[in-house]
Structure 1
Amino acid sequence: MSYELIALLMFSSMMLLLLTGKRVFGAIGFVAAAASMLLWGDGGSEMAFSAAMKLMKWYPLLTLPMFVFMGYMLSESRIADDLYRMFHVWMGPLHGGLAIGTILLMVVIAAMNGLSVAGMAIGATIAMPELLRRGYDKIMVTGVIQAGSTLGILIPPSVVLVLYGMIARQPVGQLWLAGVFPGLMMAAMFIVYIVIRCRLQPQLGPPLPLEERQQISWGEKLRLLRAGLVPLIIFLTMTGLFLLGYTSLVESSAVGALAATLAALFQGRLTAKVMEETLRKTLGISCMFMWIILAALCFGAVFDGLGAVKAIEGLFVQQMGLGPWEILILMQLSFILMGMFLDDTAMLVIVAPLYVPLVGALGFDLIWYGVLYTITCQMAYMTPPFGYNLFLMRAMAPPEVTLRDIYVSVTPFVIIMAIALAVVMIFPQIALWLPQWHYGR
C-alpha cells in the first residue's frame, strides 16, 4: 500500500470517528496510535511517549491554565457583571449604544478568558435579556452576541493560538501579539456596522429613555466606572509588565491569575463556591486541551513519517500547478467548509500536520498564518448549517429567538469577517508589526 493511500485512510478514519460524536482527542489519538503500531510495530509505541515528553517540556503551556483561571475567576465572582452594567449606563444614550457596549464587553471578556464559549455564555445570560427588554431587534442582538463572542479566540490570551503554537512550533507570545490589532480592528468594524445600521434604522437599537437616564446620578455612573474598570486594570497590568520586559509570558499569566483572585477577595466575592467552580472549570478546560495537543502531536508525527506533507505539496504545486496565494485561499475555504461540522480545535488538529509545513514551504510567515487561521475559524463558527456558535446560541437563547433568526443574524457579521480576513491577507503587517517591534527591540 502506498504512503499516500495510508495517509488518506488515516484521514478518512479520523473523520469517520469524529462524525460518530466521539471526543476529539480520543478519535485522533486512536487513529494515530493504531497507524503507528501497524506501520512500525513495537517501535511505533515510542511516538506517543515522545509526543507526551515534548508536551510536558513545553514551558509556555503553563500560560493556559493561568489565563483560563483568571477568566473564570472574574466570571464566577460576577466582576464581569459590573463591566456590562458600566457599558450599559455609559453607552445607553446612543442609538445602538447597548449593542456597542456588548461588543466592548466581549472584547474585554476575550482579553480575560481566551475562549469564545465564555463570551457567548456571558453575552447570552447577561446582555441578551437586557437588550431584548429594551426593545432591541432580536436578529440584531443575536448577531452581535455571536460575532462578539468569536473575538475570544483571536484577542490574547487566545487558547486557540496556544494550541496552534504548540502544533506549528511557533512562539505563543508572538502569536498573541499578532492577534491584538486584527482582533481590535474586527471589533471596530462590528461597531461601525452597528452605528451605521442603527442610524439608518433607529428602531433596531433604541436609546435608553430620557427619564431613566435622568434617574442615574453622576455618583452612580462614577461608581460603576470604578467597578467596571477592575478587569481592564488587571489586563493592562498583566500585558504592560510583559510588553515592558519586566515579566515573561508565563509570569504575566501568573500575575493575571493572582490579580483576579485578589480583586474578588477585596470585593468580598471570593467564596468557597466561587473558588471551587473556578478550579473545577479551569481543570476541565486545561485537561481537555492537554489531551488534544498530545493527540495532535502523535498524529502529526505519523503523518511526517509517511511523507504526507510532501505528497500534498506535490499535488498542489506540481500536478495542479497552483500558485502560493491560490493554495492559501483554498486552505482558508477548506477551514470554512470544515467549520460547518467541527469546532476549531478539531479543525486545527486535522489539517495542521498537512497545512502548516506547506505554508512554510510556500514562503509565508507562520505567525501571520496563525492569525489567518483564527479569523477563518471565527467565520466558520457562524457559517450555517452547523456552525458551532449557531447551536450554542440556540441552546442559550430565549424561545422567541428561532433557528431562522439565528441564521439570518450572522450574515452581515460573516461578511465583515471576510473583509477583515482579506485586509489582513493583503496587509500582513497589521498582524506582524507588533510582535516584530516587541521582539526586535
Structure 2
Amino acid sequence: MKLRKELWFGFSIMAMVLVAIAWLLLGVETVTHGHQGLLMLSLVVVAIMLGFPTAFTLMGMGMIFTWLAYDGNTTRTLDLMVQAAYKSMANDVLIAVPLFVFMGYLVERANLIEKLFKSMHLAMARVPGSLAVATLVTCTIFATATGIVGAVVTLMGLLALPAMLRAGYSTPMAAGAITAGGCLGILLPPSVLLILYGATAGVSVVQLYAGAFFPGLMLAGLYIGYVILMAKLKPKWAPPLSAAERVVELPPLTRALPAETHQYAPSGLLNALKGQRNAGVPTGYVLRQLGLVVLPGLLFVLLAVTSYRAVTTVEAEAVYDIQPIGFDSGPAERPEGGLAEPPSQGGLQEPPSAEGGLQEPPGALSEPPGAEAAPPEAAPQASAPSAAEPAAAAATSRPAPTWWWVGFAVLAISIVLFYALLSFARFEIFKMLLGSFFPLVVLILAVLGSIVFGLTTPTEAAALGALGGFLLAAAYKRLNMGMVKESVYLTAKTSAMVCWLFVGSAIFSAAFALLGGQELIEKWVLSMNLTKFEFMVLSQIVIFLLGWPLEWTEIIVIFMPIFIPLLDHFGVDPLFFGLLVALNLQTAFLSPPVAMSAFYLKGVAPPHVTLNQIFLGMIPFMGIQILAIVLLYIWPEIGLWLPQLLYAR
C-alpha cells in the first residue's frame, strides 16, 4: 500500500525520535533517573503522534515513570499525583477558560460573521485583493471576539472561500488567507494559549493580554500587506471586483428622498428636511439618518474629552492629619510639657555634653533644653509644609503624552475623511458596519479594556464577555434554548479537554522534575555556553520545529516547563518570551502534517480544493510569521510598551 506524503513525514519524525532514544540508552554507561526522564519525554511525543489522547498520555507516562523513580512505592506515587492534580485544580486563572470559550461560542452562533464579512467586503471593494483583505480583517475581529480557531476557519471557509473562488481568486491565495486569519485567535486576546502560558510560567495574564495586542495587530497587518502586494504584482491571483459586485443598493425610503448612490449624504439629508419632493418619506426617518451621520463626530468628541482628562489629571495623594512622633508643629500646637525635638540646625544631633560623648542626663528623665520655647530658627521649618501646599495643589495636571496626540491626530484625520467622502453608498455601508462591526468592537473593548486597565480580573472580564455574548445573541434574535444548550455542551467539552490537559501536564512535570530530567537538560544547555541571542534563536527554532508534529496545547504544557527555568540564567523576561512563543505557535496550525486549520478548511471546502493546495497557500504566511518574530525580537517595545505604560514593569 502506498502511503501519502503526510504519513511518510510523520513516520519519519517518529523514526528520528526512536533513533534518538536508542542512541541515548546505548550511548551512556549508566542509565540514571535523568535519562529515564528524557526517555519519558520522547515516548510521550511518539505516543501523541500515534494518536493517543494527549492528557491521558501525559498522566499515564507520568505515573509509570514516577513509580519507577520511587522503586515501586505505589503510595508515594499516588501522593505525588494527587498533589500535582490538586495544585492544577486550585489555579484560579483557569476559571477564565470556560467563560471565554462560552463567550466565543455564543458570539459565533449569533450569526454576526456573515454580516461582518459582507460589510467589510463592500467597505474595501476598491482595495487590491479586497475579498482576501476583508477575509483577514473579519478573521482578526472575530478571532478577538471568540478566540476559537476551528470556528473561525470553518465559518470563513463557508462564507469567504466560495466568494473568492467565484471572483477568480487563486485557490492557494484564498485558502492561505482564511487559514492564516483564523489562526490569529490563538495570539490575540482573549487567547486561551496566553492563559495556559501564564498559568505555566507564573506570568500575569493581564500583562500577557496587554503585550499580545500590538504583536497580533502587527501580524494581521503584515498578512494584509502581503495580500495587497501580491494582488498588485499578480492580478490573476486576486482580481479586482467588477462594478456589479461593488454596487450598494439604497433602501426604498432613501431612494424616495430622492437620493443617488454617489450623492453627498449629509447635504442630501439636510435638503430632505425642507424639501417637498419627499412627501412620502417620514420626517422621523430623515432625522434618524441624520443622527447616524453625526454619531461618529459625537463619539470622537466624547472620547477625546474623556481620554484627555484621564491622561492629564494627576491624582492627588491622600493626606492624613496625623502628627508624626518627633515632628514639631509649632509652640502654639504643642501641649504643655509634651515631647519636643531638641534644637537643631538641620539634622539630628546629639544633645550637648561636657565630655563630648553621649551621656544619660543626671537624675530623673527630663526634657532636653529647648522644649519650653522653640528657637527662632525652628519657625521657618514649621511653616515650610504650609508654603509647599499651594505648589502641591497646583500640580494636579500634566501635559498629554505624545502617543495621545499622535493617536487622536490619526483618528481626527479618519473622521474628516469619513465626512468628506460620505456618499449615500458609503453611508449604507457604514450602517451595515454599525450593525455588525461595532457591536463586536464594543464587546471586545468592554472585555479587554476592563482587563488591561485593571478594572476587573480576567475571570470577571470573561463573565462580562459571556453576558455580552448573551445580549448580542438576543439582539440579533438568535437566542433560544437549543443554541444555549449547544454552546454549553461545546464549552464543557473544550473546557474539559483544556483542564484535563493541564492536570496531565502537572503530573508529567512533577514526574519529570522528580527524575531530574530538567536538571539534565539545564546542564546540557548551560554547557554549550550560549549567549542570550543564541539561546533565543535555539529555543524559537525548537518551538518552530515542534509545531510541525504537535499542537500548541501540547507544546505549552510539555515543553514550556523545560524552557522557563532557563530564562533567569540568560536574563530573558518571561513576558517577552511568552509573546515570542505565542507568535511562533501560529505555525502549529499552519504547518503540516498536524496543520489543524487546513483540515478544518478542507472539511467545508468544495471537492476540487485539495489539501496540497491549502498547504501551498499556507507557506507564504508561515514566512510572514517568521518575519513577525524577527521584528518583535529586534524591537521588543512592540510587545512591551503597553504593559510598561499601564503597569510600570
Cα deviation, residue 102, structure 1: 0.8
Q: What one-letter code is carried by the residue in structure 1 that aligns with 2:455?
A: Y
The change in CA–CA distance for 1:362 and 1:215 in structure 2 (over 3 A counts) is closer
Contact 1:335-1:380 within 8 A present in 2 as well: no
Match of 2:434 in 1: 226
The change in CA–CA distance for 1:210 and 1:104 in structure 2 (over 3 A counts) is same
Q: What one-letter code is carried by the residue in structure 2 that aligns with 1:168?
A: A
TM-score by length of 2: 0.65
Task: Tell me whether 1:14 sits opposite 2:44 in the alignment.
Answer: yes
Match of 1:77 in 2: 110
Q: What SS does the corresponding residue of 2:585 show, helix, strand or coil?
A: helix
Match of 1:307 in 2: 516
Cα-to-partner distance string for 1:204-250 (whole Å, 9 max, x where unaligned): 22333213433433364243112212111111122223333332222
Contact 1:317-1:323 within 8 A present in 2 as well: no
Cα-to-partner distance string for 1:174-228 (whole Å, 9 max, x where unaligned): 1122111111000001111111111122232233321343343336424311221
The change in CA–CA distance for 1:384 and 1:249 in structure 2 (over 3 A counts) is closer
Q: What SS does the corresponding residue of 2:597 show, helix, strand or coil?
A: helix
**Which whole-Å CA distance do the structure 1 matches of 2:50 and 2:511 have between them?**
23
Q: What one-letter code is carried by the residue in structure 1 that aligns with 2:69?
A: L
Match of 2:544 in 1: 336
Contact 1:339-1:388 within 8 A present in 2 as well: no
Q: What one-letter code is carried by the residue in structure 2 that aligns with 1:27?
A: T
Contact 1:51-1:298 within 8 A present in 2 as well: yes
Q: What SS does the corresponding residue of 1:5 show, helix, strand or coil?
A: helix
Task: Tell me whether 1:406 sits opposite 2:439 in the alignment.
Answer: no
**Which whole-Å CA distance do the structure 2 matches of 1:71 and 1:283 have between them?**
13
For 1:211-360, list aligned pairs within 5 A. 211-217=244-250, 218=425, 220-228=428-436, 229-318=438-527, 320-360=528-568
Task: Tell me whether 1:38 sits opposite 2:48 in the alignment.
Answer: no
Q: What one-letter code is carried by the residue in structure 2 that aligns with 1:175?
A: L
Cα deviation, residue 261, structure 1: 0.4
Cα deviation, residue 404, structure 1: 2.5
Contact 1:89-1:221 within 8 A present in 2 as well: yes
The change in CA–CA distance for 1:385 and 1:262 in structure 2 (over 3 A counts) is closer
Q: Which moved more, 1:283-292 or 1:77-86?
A: 77-86
Cα-to-partner distance string for 1:372-430 (whole Å, 9 max, x where unaligned): 11211112422234433333333332222222212221221111111100111222221
The change in CA–CA distance for 1:386 and 1:255 in structure 2 (over 3 A counts) is closer
**Which whole-Å CA distance do the structure 2 matches of 1:171 and 1:54 have between them?**
18
**Which whole-Å CA distance do the structure 1 matches of 2:241 and 2:172 have between them?**
19
Question: Cα RMSD over matched residues?
Answer: 1.8
Cα-to-partner distance string for 1:25-71 (whole Å, 9 max, x where unaligned): 01111111222223232112122222222222222212111111111
Percent identical pairs in the alignment equals 32
The change in CA–CA distance for 1:172 and 1:246 in structure 2 (over 3 A counts) is closer
The change in CA–CA distance for 1:240 and 1:15 in structure 2 (over 3 A counts) is closer
Match of 2:633 in 1: 425
Q: Which moved more, 1:94-103 or 1:352-361?
A: 352-361
Contact 2:69-2:514 within 8 A present in 1 as well: no
**Which whole-Å CA distance do the structure 2 matches of 1:381 and 1:360 have between them?**
30
Q: What one-letter code is carried by the residue in structure 2 that aligns with 1:169?
A: G
The change in CA–CA distance for 1:212 and 1:338 in structure 2 (over 3 A counts) is closer
Match of 2:132 in 1: 99
- From 373, 391, 396, give the equivalent of 2:599: 391
Q: Name whichever structure is richer in helix by fraction.
A: 1
Q: What SS does the corresponding residue of 2:128 show, helix, strand or coil?
A: coil
Task: Tell me whether 1:25 sits opposite 2:55 in the alignment.
Answer: yes
Contact 1:109-1:118 within 8 A present in 2 as well: no
Match of 2:193 in 1: 160
Contact 2:548-2:587 within 8 A present in 1 as well: no
Match of 1:57 in 2: 90
Contact 1:114-1:155 within 8 A present in 2 as well: yes
Cα deviation, residue 21, structure 1: 0.7
The change in CA–CA distance for 1:429 and 1:171 in structure 2 (over 3 A counts) is same
Cα deviation, residue 138, structure 1: 1.3
- Give the gaps of 5 or more residues in structure 2: 1-30, 251-424
TM-score by length of 1: 0.95
Q: What one-letter code is carried by the residue in structure 2 that aligns with 1:18?
A: I
**Which whole-Å CA distance do the structure 2 matches of 1:321 and 1:363 have between them?**
14
Cα deviation, residue 94, structure 1: 2.3
Q: What SS does the corresponding residue of 2:236 show, helix, strand or coil?
A: helix
- From 126, 129, 132, give the equivalent of 2:162: 129
Q: What one-letter code is carried by the residue in structure 2 that aligns with 1:325?
A: F
Larger Rg over CA atoms: 2
**Which whole-Å CA distance do the structure 2 matches of 1:174 and 1:51 have between them?**
26
Task: Tell me whether 1:190 sits opposite 2:398 in the alignment.
Answer: no
Q: What SS does the corresponding residue of 2:541 show, helix, strand or coil?
A: helix
**Which whole-Å CA distance do the structure 2 matches of 1:325 and 1:215 have between them?**
53
Cα deviation, residue 103, structure 1: 0.7
The change in CA–CA distance for 1:360 and 1:398 in structure 2 (over 3 A counts) is farther
Cα-to-partner distance string for 1:103-132 (whole Å, 9 max, x where unaligned): 111111221122322221122122111221
In the comparison of the two structures, how many residue pairs are matched?
A: 440
**Which whole-Å CA distance do the structure 1 matches of 2:598 and 2:567 have between them?**
30
- From 116, 120, 137, give the equivalent of 1:87: 120
Q: What one-letter code is carried by the residue in structure 2 that aligns with 1:288?
A: M
- From 48, 51, 62, give the equivalent of 2:81: 48
Contact 2:147-2:188 within 8 A present in 1 as well: yes
Cα deviation, residue 289, structure 1: 0.2
Q: What one-letter code is carried by the residue in structure 1 that aligns with 2:118?
A: R
